[in-house]
Structures are given as structure tokens and as C-alpha cells.
Structure 1
Amino acid sequence: MIRKHSATLHGHRTSFTLEEPFWIELKSIAAAREMALAQLIAEIDDSRPADSNLSSALRVYVLDWIKSNGSR
């Protein structure tokens, strides 16, 4: 199921939609990297191409993380 989420990035509130498995994995990655979830989302947002949206960038980041760190 896809759900709407929101986070504060650089002092501004933004929203994005993610399927539950991506959301769970994103939280797991933040924990593995010992950083706040909002900090991880801001990092991904800062590094995404200008022509991509945040939801897509988050999904690609999760996929890249899983590919780089082995599947579960």
C-alpha cells in the first residue's frame, strides 16, 4: 500500500508518497547509518537530480542501498 509521508527538510515541510516496504527499509537504513530519518531524507533530497521527484529518489536510494549491501 502506498502512503503519504512528510518531513521537514532545511526548515521546510515537504511530503512524498512511498509504498510501505520502501518506508520500512528507509527507516532501517537510517538506523544502520546511525542518523535521523529526516537527515537521511534531506541527504537524498540534496543529491537527487533536479528533474526527479523526491519519492522516486527515495525509492532509487533504497534499491541502490540493498544492491550495495546484499539482499535480505
Structure 2
Amino acid sequence: MKSPVVKRSIVVAGHKTSVSLEEAFWNGMKEISALRNMTLSELVGEIDNNRQQGNLSSAIRLFVLDYFRSRAMAAQPDNNVPAQ
């Protein structure tokens, strides 16, 4: 059985590194970087610079989760507004 985790090489801040992520997270990263008009390497570099702890793969997963969770919350109708 093929592993759902895909290992890819990426250049972050001028240094080549490899990151192992599930395909869904790679796709999420590609979508986010396209929406921000930046390369995948630039986005990973931003995540790397802002991470507090843990490894880069974990930081990326948390970033993608937070990004799409925030979008989902923003799309929700405001529950504090009375229905008319």
C-alpha cells in the first residue's frame, strides 16, 4: 500500500530541505500560495520563520488547518444577528 505521505524537496531561505506531508496538505499549500501570489517556497519560508516550535512539517499542517478553518468561520453567518 502506498503511503499517503509525500516527501518533496523545497528551497527555504536559500537552503534545500525536504518536507513530508499528505497530498491534501500539499494541495492546500499550493492553493494558499496562489491566492497570495507567492511561490510555494516563499510561503514555506514564511511559515518556517513564524513557527514557535516543532518540526516544519507539523508547522505547515497547523498553518493550513488554521487558514482553512479561518476561511470557514468567516463564511459562517453571524450567529449574534437576530433572524428577520
Q: TM-score, normalised by structure 2?
A: 0.79
CA shift digits 1:31-52 (9 cap, x unpaired): 0111111100000001111x31
For the aligned residue pairs, the C-alpha RMSD in angstroms reads 1.2
Report SS of the residue matched to 2:11: strand
Candidates 37, 44, 51, aligned match of 2:47 = 44
Aligned to 1:3: 6
Aligned to 1:65: 67
- Following the alignment from structure 2 to structure 1, what is the Cα–Cα distance between the partners of residues 44 and 64? 11
- The gaps in structure 1 that reach 5 residues or longer are none
Equivalent pairs, count: 70
- Following the alignment from structure 1 to structure 2, what is the Cα–Cα distance between the partners of residues 52 and 14? 16
- The gaps in structure 2 that reach 5 residues or longer are 74-84
Q: TM-score, normalised by structure 1?
A: 0.91
Candidates 54, 57, 77, aligned match of 1:55 = 57
User: Which of the two has higher C-alpha Rg?
Assistant: 2
- Following the alignment from structure 1 to structure 2, what is the Cα–Cα distance between the partners of residues 39 and 10? 8
- Following the alignment from structure 1 to structure 2, what is the Cα–Cα distance between the partners of residues 35 and 70? 22
Q: Percent of aligned positions with the same letter in both sequences?
A: 46
